[in-house]
Homo-oligomer: A and B are copies of this chain.
Amino acid sequence: MIRSLCEKADVCIIGSGPAGATFARLLEESGKNGVILEAGAQHSPKYGENLKNAALYQRNKTLFSHIVRGQLNPVSVASTPGGDTTGDAASAENSAPSVNGTNPEQDPSRNLPEAGITHAVGGMATHWTGTSPRQHPVVERSPLLTPSEWDRLYTEAERILRVSTTEFDDSIAHQLVLDALREEYKELEAPYDVQSLPLAAQRRAASTGLVEWTGVDTILGPLAAPGRSDRFRVLSQHLCTRLATDSAGSRVSYAEAQDLLTGESLRIEADSFVVAGGGVATAQLMWASCIRPSALGRYLTDHPLAFCQVVLLPELVKQPIPEDDLEPNVWIPLSASRPWHCMIHRDAFQYGDRIPNVDRRLVVDLRWHGMVEPRADNRVTFSDQHRDKFGLPQPTFDFTLSASDRAQHHAMMSDMLRAAMSIGGFLPGAEPRFMPLGLSQHIAGATRMGNSPEDSVVDCNSRVWGIDNLYLGGNNVIPTATACNPTLTSVALAVKAARHLSNG
Protein backbone atom coordinates (compact mmCIF):
# COMPACT_ATOMS: atom_id res chain seq x y z
CA MET A 1 0.00 0.00 0.00
CA ILE A 2 3.09 2.13 0.10
CA ARG A 3 4.57 2.53 -3.36
CA SER A 4 3.77 6.04 -4.38
CA LEU A 5 3.45 7.10 -7.98
CA CYS A 6 3.46 10.65 -9.13
CA GLU A 7 1.78 12.03 -12.20
CA LYS A 8 1.59 15.51 -13.63
CA ALA A 9 -1.15 17.06 -15.68
CA ASP A 10 -2.68 20.38 -16.60
CA VAL A 11 -5.88 19.39 -14.88
CA CYS A 12 -6.86 16.72 -12.42
CA ILE A 13 -10.56 15.97 -12.38
CA ILE A 14 -12.05 13.98 -9.53
CA GLY A 15 -15.23 12.24 -10.58
CA SER A 16 -16.28 10.99 -13.99
CA GLY A 17 -19.99 11.82 -13.95
CA PRO A 18 -21.68 14.30 -16.29
CA ALA A 19 -20.16 17.36 -14.66
CA GLY A 20 -16.63 15.98 -14.54
CA ALA A 21 -16.95 14.71 -18.10
CA THR A 22 -18.11 18.11 -19.29
CA PHE A 23 -15.01 19.68 -17.78
CA ALA A 24 -12.84 17.02 -19.43
CA ARG A 25 -14.35 17.43 -22.86
CA LEU A 26 -14.17 21.21 -22.91
CA LEU A 27 -10.71 21.39 -21.39
CA GLU A 28 -9.40 18.86 -23.88
CA GLU A 29 -10.90 20.89 -26.68
CA SER A 30 -9.10 23.93 -25.33
CA GLY A 31 -5.84 22.05 -25.56
CA LYS A 32 -5.29 20.91 -22.02
CA ASN A 33 -4.31 17.45 -20.88
CA GLY A 34 -5.49 15.78 -17.75
CA VAL A 35 -6.32 12.85 -15.53
CA ILE A 36 -9.75 11.78 -14.31
CA LEU A 37 -9.82 9.96 -10.99
CA GLU A 38 -12.84 7.74 -10.53
CA ALA A 39 -13.44 5.52 -7.49
CA GLY A 40 -15.73 3.18 -9.39
CA ALA A 41 -15.11 0.56 -12.02
CA GLN A 42 -15.66 0.71 -15.76
CA HIS A 43 -18.79 -1.21 -16.77
CA SER A 44 -18.87 -0.73 -20.53
CA PRO A 45 -16.49 -0.84 -23.48
CA LYS A 46 -16.51 2.95 -23.76
CA TYR A 47 -16.18 5.13 -20.70
CA GLY A 48 -19.43 5.73 -18.92
CA GLU A 49 -22.11 4.33 -21.19
CA ASN A 50 -25.66 4.41 -19.94
CA LEU A 51 -26.08 0.79 -18.96
CA LYS A 52 -29.80 0.73 -19.59
CA ASN A 53 -29.05 0.89 -23.31
CA ALA A 54 -28.31 -2.82 -23.19
CA ALA A 55 -30.75 -4.85 -25.25
CA LEU A 56 -31.57 -6.94 -22.19
CA TYR A 57 -32.74 -3.98 -20.13
CA GLN A 58 -34.62 -2.41 -23.01
CA ARG A 59 -36.65 -5.63 -23.08
CA ASN A 60 -36.85 -6.18 -19.32
CA LYS A 61 -36.82 -2.86 -17.49
CA THR A 62 -37.63 -4.38 -14.13
CA LEU A 63 -34.33 -6.23 -14.26
CA PHE A 64 -32.50 -2.94 -14.62
CA SER A 65 -33.86 -1.65 -11.33
CA HIS A 66 -31.65 -4.23 -9.61
CA ILE A 67 -28.61 -2.89 -11.41
CA VAL A 68 -29.41 0.63 -10.23
CA ARG A 69 -29.78 -0.58 -6.69
CA GLY A 70 -26.50 -2.46 -6.96
CA GLN A 71 -24.69 0.67 -8.05
CA LEU A 72 -25.82 2.99 -5.28
CA ASN A 73 -23.66 2.83 -2.19
CA PRO A 74 -25.77 4.22 0.68
CA VAL A 75 -24.45 7.43 2.20
CA SER A 76 -25.70 7.13 5.75
CA VAL A 77 -27.54 4.15 7.20
CA ALA A 78 -28.81 4.80 10.69
CA SER A 79 -27.86 2.20 13.27
CA THR A 80 -30.73 0.36 14.90
CA PRO A 81 -29.80 0.02 18.54
CA GLY A 82 -31.28 -2.90 20.34
CA GLY A 83 -32.01 -5.90 18.25
CA ASP A 84 -33.67 -9.20 18.64
CA THR A 85 -34.25 -10.87 21.96
CA THR A 86 -34.08 -14.49 20.94
CA GLY A 87 -32.14 -17.06 22.77
CA ASP A 88 -29.29 -18.31 20.64
CA ALA A 89 -25.92 -17.01 19.56
CA ALA A 90 -27.56 -14.66 17.11
CA SER A 91 -28.07 -12.00 19.68
CA ALA A 92 -24.67 -12.30 21.24
CA GLU A 93 -23.53 -9.18 19.45
CA ASN A 94 -26.49 -6.97 20.13
CA SER A 95 -24.58 -4.71 22.39
CA ALA A 96 -22.51 -3.10 19.66
CA PRO A 97 -23.82 0.40 18.99
CA SER A 98 -22.95 0.12 15.32
CA VAL A 99 -22.35 -2.86 13.09
CA ASN A 100 -21.87 -3.41 9.40
CA GLY A 101 -20.98 0.15 8.59
CA THR A 102 -24.13 1.70 9.96
CA ASN A 103 -23.84 5.21 11.28
CA PRO A 104 -24.46 5.55 15.01
CA GLU A 105 -24.52 9.35 14.74
CA GLN A 106 -27.40 9.37 12.27
CA ASP A 107 -30.80 10.34 13.67
CA PRO A 108 -33.20 8.32 11.50
CA SER A 109 -35.77 11.09 11.53
CA ARG A 110 -33.26 13.59 10.11
CA ASN A 111 -31.78 11.33 7.46
CA LEU A 112 -31.97 11.26 3.67
CA PRO A 113 -32.19 7.49 3.90
CA GLU A 114 -32.15 6.70 0.20
CA ALA A 115 -29.19 8.89 -0.70
CA GLY A 116 -26.47 6.89 -2.43
CA ILE A 117 -23.23 7.41 -4.26
CA THR A 118 -22.71 5.79 -7.64
CA HIS A 119 -19.30 4.21 -7.88
CA ALA A 120 -18.77 3.82 -11.63
CA VAL A 121 -16.98 5.35 -14.53
CA GLY A 122 -19.71 7.65 -15.78
CA GLY A 123 -21.11 8.27 -12.31
CA MET A 124 -24.85 8.33 -12.05
CA ALA A 125 -25.13 8.68 -15.82
CA THR A 126 -24.60 4.93 -16.01
CA HIS A 127 -28.20 4.55 -14.86
CA TRP A 128 -29.90 7.95 -15.02
CA THR A 129 -33.30 8.62 -16.55
CA GLY A 130 -31.95 11.22 -18.96
CA THR A 131 -34.60 13.76 -18.03
CA SER A 132 -33.12 17.16 -18.84
CA PRO A 133 -35.45 20.10 -18.25
CA ARG A 134 -34.25 23.67 -17.87
CA GLN A 135 -34.93 25.29 -14.53
CA HIS A 136 -37.84 27.70 -14.34
CA PRO A 137 -36.50 31.21 -15.15
CA VAL A 138 -37.85 32.78 -12.00
CA VAL A 139 -38.82 30.11 -9.51
CA GLU A 140 -35.74 27.95 -9.79
CA ARG A 141 -32.86 29.65 -11.55
CA SER A 142 -30.33 31.53 -9.50
CA PRO A 143 -30.11 35.25 -10.24
CA LEU A 144 -26.34 34.96 -9.97
CA LEU A 145 -26.30 34.48 -13.76
CA THR A 146 -28.12 36.73 -16.20
CA PRO A 147 -31.06 35.36 -18.15
CA SER A 148 -29.15 35.48 -21.38
CA GLU A 149 -26.18 33.68 -19.91
CA TRP A 150 -28.49 30.95 -18.60
CA ASP A 151 -30.01 30.59 -22.07
CA ARG A 152 -26.64 30.35 -23.72
CA LEU A 153 -25.33 27.82 -21.21
CA TYR A 154 -28.49 25.70 -21.34
CA THR A 155 -28.31 25.61 -25.14
CA GLU A 156 -24.78 24.35 -24.96
CA ALA A 157 -25.59 21.82 -22.26
CA GLU A 158 -28.49 20.48 -24.29
CA ARG A 159 -26.15 19.98 -27.22
CA ILE A 160 -23.61 18.19 -25.02
CA LEU A 161 -26.26 15.90 -23.54
CA ARG A 162 -28.05 15.52 -26.88
CA VAL A 163 -31.44 16.56 -25.48
CA SER A 164 -34.59 16.11 -27.53
CA THR A 165 -38.35 16.31 -26.98
CA THR A 166 -39.45 14.37 -30.02
CA GLU A 167 -37.99 10.89 -29.68
CA PHE A 168 -41.19 9.34 -28.34
CA ASP A 169 -43.58 11.09 -30.72
CA ASP A 170 -44.61 7.95 -32.53
CA SER A 171 -45.35 6.00 -29.35
CA ILE A 172 -49.03 5.23 -29.00
CA ALA A 173 -48.87 5.22 -25.20
CA HIS A 174 -47.03 8.54 -25.19
CA GLN A 175 -49.60 10.27 -27.38
CA LEU A 176 -52.46 8.76 -25.46
CA VAL A 177 -51.19 10.03 -22.11
CA LEU A 178 -50.22 13.39 -23.61
CA ASP A 179 -53.71 13.89 -25.04
CA ALA A 180 -55.50 12.82 -21.87
CA LEU A 181 -53.48 15.14 -19.65
CA ARG A 182 -53.83 18.05 -22.04
CA GLU A 183 -57.56 17.53 -21.86
CA GLU A 184 -57.44 17.48 -18.07
CA TYR A 185 -55.11 20.46 -17.70
CA LYS A 186 -56.71 22.76 -20.24
CA GLU A 187 -56.09 25.78 -18.07
CA LEU A 188 -52.33 25.55 -18.37
CA GLU A 189 -50.72 27.81 -20.91
CA ALA A 190 -47.53 27.43 -22.88
CA PRO A 191 -44.73 27.13 -22.13
CA TYR A 192 -45.98 25.55 -18.88
CA ASP A 193 -48.60 23.29 -20.36
CA VAL A 194 -48.57 19.52 -20.71
CA GLN A 195 -45.84 18.52 -23.16
CA SER A 196 -43.20 15.95 -23.99
CA LEU A 197 -40.32 15.53 -21.56
CA PRO A 198 -36.97 16.83 -22.73
CA LEU A 199 -34.78 13.74 -22.70
CA ALA A 200 -31.11 13.08 -23.27
CA ALA A 201 -31.89 10.31 -25.68
CA GLN A 202 -32.04 9.46 -29.33
CA ARG A 203 -34.04 6.86 -31.17
CA ARG A 204 -32.00 4.15 -32.78
CA ALA A 205 -32.89 3.18 -36.33
CA ALA A 206 -36.65 3.48 -36.31
CA SER A 207 -37.11 -0.16 -37.07
CA THR A 208 -35.71 -1.34 -33.77
CA GLY A 209 -38.03 0.37 -31.35
CA LEU A 210 -34.98 1.12 -29.22
CA VAL A 211 -33.65 4.29 -27.68
CA GLU A 212 -30.07 5.21 -27.04
CA TRP A 213 -29.82 7.07 -23.78
CA THR A 214 -27.07 9.58 -23.23
CA GLY A 215 -24.23 8.52 -21.02
CA VAL A 216 -20.90 10.00 -20.19
CA ASP A 217 -19.61 8.42 -23.38
CA THR A 218 -21.85 10.86 -25.26
CA ILE A 219 -20.41 13.80 -23.33
CA LEU A 220 -16.82 12.68 -23.73
CA GLY A 221 -17.20 12.10 -27.46
CA PRO A 222 -13.86 10.99 -28.84
CA LEU A 223 -12.40 10.79 -25.31
CA ALA A 224 -14.81 7.98 -24.48
CA ALA A 225 -12.91 5.28 -26.32
CA PRO A 226 -10.21 3.90 -24.01
CA GLY A 227 -6.80 4.57 -25.45
CA ARG A 228 -8.04 7.01 -28.05
CA SER A 229 -6.86 10.21 -26.46
CA ASP A 230 -3.33 10.97 -25.38
CA ARG A 231 -4.44 13.97 -23.48
CA PHE A 232 -7.02 12.68 -21.06
CA ARG A 233 -6.81 9.47 -19.14
CA VAL A 234 -9.38 7.88 -16.85
CA LEU A 235 -7.98 6.14 -13.80
CA SER A 236 -10.83 3.94 -12.65
CA GLN A 237 -11.05 2.42 -9.17
CA HIS A 238 -8.77 5.19 -7.96
CA LEU A 239 -10.12 6.94 -4.92
CA CYS A 240 -9.05 10.50 -4.31
CA THR A 241 -8.44 10.71 -0.59
CA ARG A 242 -7.07 14.22 -0.15
CA LEU A 243 -6.27 17.48 -1.85
CA ALA A 244 -3.07 18.97 -0.51
CA THR A 245 -2.87 22.74 -0.44
CA ASP A 246 0.19 24.91 -0.32
CA SER A 247 1.25 26.53 2.90
CA ALA A 248 -0.89 29.58 2.29
CA GLY A 249 -3.88 27.40 1.66
CA SER A 250 -4.66 29.33 -1.51
CA ARG A 251 -3.79 26.70 -4.09
CA VAL A 252 -4.11 22.96 -4.35
CA SER A 253 -0.68 21.45 -4.92
CA TYR A 254 -1.57 17.89 -5.60
CA ALA A 255 -4.22 15.24 -5.14
CA GLU A 256 -3.63 12.02 -3.30
CA ALA A 257 -5.31 8.92 -4.59
CA GLN A 258 -5.38 5.27 -3.77
CA ASP A 259 -5.54 2.47 -6.30
CA LEU A 260 -8.38 0.53 -4.71
CA LEU A 261 -7.25 -2.78 -6.17
CA THR A 262 -3.55 -2.68 -5.48
CA GLY A 263 -3.59 -0.37 -2.51
CA GLU A 264 -0.88 1.76 -4.07
CA SER A 265 -0.80 5.47 -3.37
CA LEU A 266 -0.69 8.02 -6.13
CA ARG A 267 0.09 11.71 -6.17
CA ILE A 268 -1.26 13.85 -8.99
CA GLU A 269 0.25 17.27 -9.46
CA ALA A 270 -1.69 19.63 -11.69
CA ASP A 271 -2.18 23.29 -12.47
CA SER A 272 -5.86 23.06 -11.73
CA PHE A 273 -8.17 20.71 -9.91
CA VAL A 274 -11.82 19.98 -10.47
CA VAL A 275 -13.85 18.06 -7.92
CA ALA A 276 -17.11 16.69 -9.30
CA GLY A 277 -17.60 13.66 -7.13
CA GLY A 278 -21.31 13.93 -6.49
CA GLY A 279 -23.72 15.78 -4.23
CA VAL A 280 -22.20 14.58 -0.97
CA ALA A 281 -18.81 13.12 -1.89
CA THR A 282 -17.48 16.42 -3.25
CA ALA A 283 -18.06 18.07 0.10
CA GLN A 284 -16.68 14.99 1.83
CA LEU A 285 -13.39 15.25 -0.04
CA MET A 286 -13.08 18.91 0.88
CA TRP A 287 -13.70 18.09 4.52
CA ALA A 288 -11.15 15.27 4.38
CA SER A 289 -8.68 17.76 2.89
CA CYS A 290 -9.30 20.22 5.72
CA ILE A 291 -10.87 22.71 3.30
CA ARG A 292 -13.82 23.55 5.48
CA PRO A 293 -15.53 26.84 4.64
CA SER A 294 -18.45 27.67 6.91
CA ALA A 295 -21.09 26.97 4.24
CA LEU A 296 -19.68 23.55 3.44
CA GLY A 297 -22.39 20.92 3.70
CA ARG A 298 -25.10 23.45 4.52
CA TYR A 299 -28.15 24.68 2.56
CA LEU A 300 -28.83 21.13 1.44
CA THR A 301 -31.87 20.69 -0.74
CA ASP A 302 -33.57 17.57 -2.02
CA HIS A 303 -36.59 16.70 -4.14
CA PRO A 304 -39.43 15.35 -2.04
CA LEU A 305 -41.07 12.95 -4.40
CA ALA A 306 -44.73 12.05 -4.62
CA PHE A 307 -45.18 8.86 -6.56
CA CYS A 308 -47.81 6.48 -7.78
CA GLN A 309 -48.46 4.13 -10.65
CA VAL A 310 -51.73 3.86 -12.49
CA VAL A 311 -53.30 1.44 -14.90
CA LEU A 312 -54.68 3.33 -17.87
CA LEU A 313 -58.44 3.78 -18.00
CA PRO A 314 -59.99 1.39 -20.51
CA GLU A 315 -61.74 4.21 -22.34
CA LEU A 316 -58.41 5.88 -23.13
CA VAL A 317 -56.93 2.81 -24.76
CA LYS A 318 -58.79 2.88 -28.03
CA GLN A 319 -56.41 0.57 -29.87
CA PRO A 320 -54.16 -2.25 -28.74
CA ILE A 321 -50.70 -1.11 -27.72
CA PRO A 322 -48.07 -3.08 -29.64
CA GLU A 323 -45.57 -5.12 -27.67
CA ASP A 324 -42.66 -2.90 -28.76
CA ASP A 325 -44.39 0.44 -28.33
CA LEU A 326 -42.23 2.90 -26.45
CA GLU A 327 -43.27 4.13 -23.05
CA PRO A 328 -44.82 7.58 -22.45
CA ASN A 329 -42.60 10.47 -21.43
CA VAL A 330 -44.83 13.38 -20.58
CA TRP A 331 -44.06 16.54 -18.65
CA ILE A 332 -45.90 19.24 -16.82
CA PRO A 333 -43.25 21.85 -16.08
CA LEU A 334 -43.08 23.72 -12.86
CA SER A 335 -44.60 27.19 -12.85
CA ALA A 336 -45.05 29.89 -10.25
CA SER A 337 -48.49 28.70 -9.20
CA ARG A 338 -47.56 25.04 -9.44
CA PRO A 339 -44.10 24.87 -7.87
CA TRP A 340 -43.49 21.23 -8.67
CA HIS A 341 -42.04 19.31 -11.57
CA CYS A 342 -44.26 16.55 -12.96
CA MET A 343 -43.12 13.47 -14.85
CA ILE A 344 -45.65 11.05 -16.28
CA HIS A 345 -43.60 8.23 -17.71
CA ARG A 346 -42.42 4.67 -17.10
CA ASP A 347 -39.19 4.23 -15.26
CA ALA A 348 -37.00 1.23 -14.70
CA PHE A 349 -37.41 1.69 -10.97
CA GLN A 350 -39.87 -0.62 -9.35
CA TYR A 351 -40.71 -0.17 -5.71
CA GLY A 352 -42.69 -3.32 -5.13
CA ASP A 353 -41.12 -6.74 -5.27
CA ARG A 354 -43.79 -8.14 -7.50
CA ILE A 355 -45.61 -6.67 -10.45
CA PRO A 356 -49.31 -7.43 -10.14
CA ASN A 357 -51.07 -9.34 -12.84
CA VAL A 358 -51.52 -6.28 -15.02
CA ASP A 359 -50.19 -5.74 -18.51
CA ARG A 360 -47.12 -3.54 -18.09
CA ARG A 361 -48.00 -1.58 -21.22
CA LEU A 362 -50.98 -0.14 -19.37
CA VAL A 363 -48.95 0.97 -16.38
CA VAL A 364 -47.82 4.59 -16.10
CA ASP A 365 -45.68 6.17 -13.38
CA LEU A 366 -46.36 9.60 -11.95
CA ARG A 367 -43.54 11.38 -10.20
CA TRP A 368 -44.14 14.84 -8.80
CA HIS A 369 -40.95 16.49 -7.54
CA GLY A 370 -41.17 19.30 -5.01
CA MET A 371 -38.73 21.84 -3.72
CA VAL A 372 -37.12 22.42 -0.35
CA GLU A 373 -36.15 25.92 0.65
CA PRO A 374 -32.39 26.20 1.29
CA ARG A 375 -31.75 26.63 4.99
CA ALA A 376 -28.37 26.81 6.64
CA ASP A 377 -29.29 24.19 9.19
CA ASN A 378 -30.26 21.57 6.62
CA ARG A 379 -26.87 20.01 6.30
CA VAL A 380 -24.53 17.11 6.01
CA THR A 381 -21.69 16.83 8.49
CA PHE A 382 -18.62 14.66 8.38
CA SER A 383 -17.27 12.65 11.24
CA ASP A 384 -13.75 12.90 12.56
CA GLN A 385 -14.36 9.64 14.38
CA HIS A 386 -16.28 7.29 12.07
CA ARG A 387 -15.09 6.32 8.60
CA ASP A 388 -17.10 5.08 5.64
CA LYS A 389 -16.30 1.84 3.84
CA PHE A 390 -13.55 3.59 1.88
CA GLY A 391 -11.92 5.19 4.89
CA LEU A 392 -13.26 8.70 4.35
CA PRO A 393 -15.11 10.71 7.02
CA GLN A 394 -18.61 9.29 7.51
CA PRO A 395 -21.32 11.72 6.34
CA THR A 396 -24.32 12.30 8.60
CA PHE A 397 -27.46 14.11 7.49
CA ASP A 398 -29.29 16.61 9.62
CA PHE A 399 -32.24 17.40 7.43
CA THR A 400 -35.82 18.43 8.13
CA LEU A 401 -38.69 19.90 6.18
CA SER A 402 -40.16 23.21 7.23
CA ALA A 403 -43.88 23.79 7.70
CA SER A 404 -43.99 25.68 4.41
CA ASP A 405 -42.12 22.88 2.64
CA ARG A 406 -44.72 20.43 3.90
CA ALA A 407 -47.63 22.62 2.91
CA GLN A 408 -46.26 22.84 -0.60
CA HIS A 409 -45.74 19.12 -0.82
CA HIS A 410 -49.27 18.52 0.34
CA ALA A 411 -50.57 20.71 -2.48
CA MET A 412 -48.28 18.82 -4.85
CA MET A 413 -49.75 15.49 -3.77
CA SER A 414 -53.26 16.82 -4.41
CA ASP A 415 -52.25 17.81 -7.89
CA MET A 416 -50.68 14.44 -8.60
CA LEU A 417 -53.91 12.75 -7.54
CA ARG A 418 -55.80 14.90 -10.02
CA ALA A 419 -53.50 13.88 -12.83
CA ALA A 420 -53.56 10.23 -11.80
CA MET A 421 -57.33 10.00 -11.68
CA SER A 422 -57.59 11.58 -15.14
CA ILE A 423 -55.66 8.76 -16.75
CA GLY A 424 -56.01 5.64 -14.64
CA GLY A 425 -56.67 3.70 -11.47
CA PHE A 426 -53.96 3.10 -8.92
CA LEU A 427 -51.85 0.02 -9.51
CA PRO A 428 -52.21 -2.17 -6.40
CA GLY A 429 -48.96 -1.89 -4.46
CA ALA A 430 -48.03 1.44 -6.03
CA GLU A 431 -50.58 3.71 -4.42
CA PRO A 432 -49.75 7.40 -3.99
CA ARG A 433 -47.17 8.14 -1.36
CA PHE A 434 -44.16 10.26 -0.59
CA MET A 435 -40.99 8.34 -1.19
CA PRO A 436 -38.21 8.36 1.41
CA LEU A 437 -36.01 11.39 1.05
CA GLY A 438 -32.85 11.13 -0.99
CA LEU A 439 -34.37 8.67 -3.45
CA SER A 440 -34.10 10.92 -6.47
CA GLN A 441 -30.35 11.29 -5.85
CA HIS A 442 -30.70 15.00 -6.55
CA ILE A 443 -29.23 16.40 -3.34
CA ALA A 444 -27.99 19.90 -4.06
CA GLY A 445 -26.35 22.76 -2.25
CA ALA A 446 -23.55 21.14 -0.25
CA THR A 447 -20.98 23.39 -1.96
CA ARG A 448 -23.34 26.04 -3.25
CA MET A 449 -22.49 28.92 -5.54
CA GLY A 450 -22.87 32.46 -4.24
CA ASN A 451 -21.72 36.02 -4.00
CA SER A 452 -19.96 35.69 -0.72
CA PRO A 453 -17.95 33.11 1.16
CA GLU A 454 -20.26 33.66 4.06
CA ASP A 455 -23.10 31.68 2.64
CA SER A 456 -21.51 29.89 -0.29
CA VAL A 457 -18.53 27.71 -1.13
CA VAL A 458 -17.85 28.68 -4.75
CA ASP A 459 -18.10 31.83 -6.80
CA CYS A 460 -20.10 32.21 -10.00
CA ASN A 461 -17.42 30.38 -11.95
CA SER A 462 -17.63 27.41 -9.57
CA ARG A 463 -14.25 28.27 -8.13
CA VAL A 464 -13.81 27.71 -4.41
CA TRP A 465 -13.59 30.98 -2.53
CA GLY A 466 -9.98 31.62 -1.66
CA ILE A 467 -8.44 28.70 -3.56
CA ASP A 468 -7.40 29.88 -6.99
CA ASN A 469 -7.06 26.60 -8.80
CA LEU A 470 -9.90 24.54 -7.35
CA TYR A 471 -13.19 24.27 -9.21
CA LEU A 472 -16.22 22.23 -8.26
CA GLY A 473 -18.87 20.61 -10.40
CA GLY A 474 -22.15 18.79 -9.82
CA ASN A 475 -25.54 19.37 -8.25
CA ASN A 476 -23.80 20.44 -5.07
CA VAL A 477 -23.01 23.75 -6.78
CA ILE A 478 -26.66 24.65 -7.42
CA PRO A 479 -27.64 27.26 -4.81
CA THR A 480 -31.39 27.47 -5.21
CA ALA A 481 -34.39 25.37 -4.40
CA THR A 482 -34.99 23.25 -7.45
CA ALA A 483 -37.73 20.81 -8.33
CA CYS A 484 -36.65 19.67 -11.76
CA ASN A 485 -33.90 17.17 -12.51
CA PRO A 486 -30.66 19.06 -11.95
CA THR A 487 -28.23 17.38 -14.37
CA LEU A 488 -28.73 19.79 -17.27
CA THR A 489 -28.22 22.70 -14.90
CA SER A 490 -25.09 21.15 -13.45
CA VAL A 491 -23.70 20.63 -16.92
CA ALA A 492 -24.55 24.22 -17.82
CA LEU A 493 -22.68 25.49 -14.77
CA ALA A 494 -19.79 23.16 -15.58
CA VAL A 495 -19.61 24.68 -19.05
CA LYS A 496 -19.27 28.15 -17.56
CA ALA A 497 -16.68 26.92 -15.08
CA ALA A 498 -14.66 25.04 -17.68
CA ARG A 499 -14.56 28.10 -19.91
CA HIS A 500 -13.29 30.16 -17.00
CA LEU A 501 -10.71 27.57 -16.11
CA SER A 502 -9.41 27.22 -19.66
CA ASN A 503 -9.25 30.97 -20.03
CA GLY A 504 -7.83 31.49 -16.58
Contact = CB atoms under 8 A, between A and B. Distances in A.
Q: How many of chain A's residues touch chain B, expressed as a range?
A: 35 or more
Most buried by B among A55, A110, A314, A359: A55
Interface centre among A42, A113, A406, A410 (most CB of B within 10 A): A406
Interface string A151-183: 000000000000000000000000000000000
Contact of A413 (B108, B410, B425): B425
Given A204-B261, A425-B88, A434-B88, A64 B55 contact: no
A266 B100 CA distance: 50
Given A43-B44, A85-B108, A109-B81, A55 B313 contact: no
Contact of A357 (B42, B82, B360, B434): B82
Given A261-B204, A357-B80, A437 B96 contact: no
A443 to B, nearest CB: 13
A446 interface: no
A86 B433 contact: yes
Interface stretch (A66-74, A191-199, A488-496): A66-74
Interface stretch (A205-213, A273-281, A460-468): A205-213
B88 A426 contact: yes
Contacts of A138: none
A188 interface: no
A438 to B, nearest CB: 8
A201 interface: no
A262 interface: yes
Contacts of A431: 431-433
Given A63-B70, A119-B56, A207-B263, A87 B401 contact: yes
B63 A66 contact: no
Contacts of A405: 87
A111 interface: yes
A60 B63 CA distance: 20
A139 interface: no
Interface of A: 1-2, 39-45, 51, 53-56, 59-60, 63-67, 69-73, 78, 80-96, 99-101, 107-113, 119, 204-205, 207-208, 210, 212, 226, 236-237, 239, 260-263, 304-306, 310-314, 355-360, 362, 370, 389-390, 399, 401, 403, 405-406, 409-410, 413-414, 417, 421, 424-428, 431-437
20 contacts: A39-B55, A40-B54, A55-B237, A59-B389, A60-B101, A60-B389, A64-B70, A66-B69, A66-B70, A70-B70, A82-B108, A85-B109, A86-B433, A86-B434, A88-B426, A89-B313, A89-B314, A90-B425, A208-B261, A426-B432
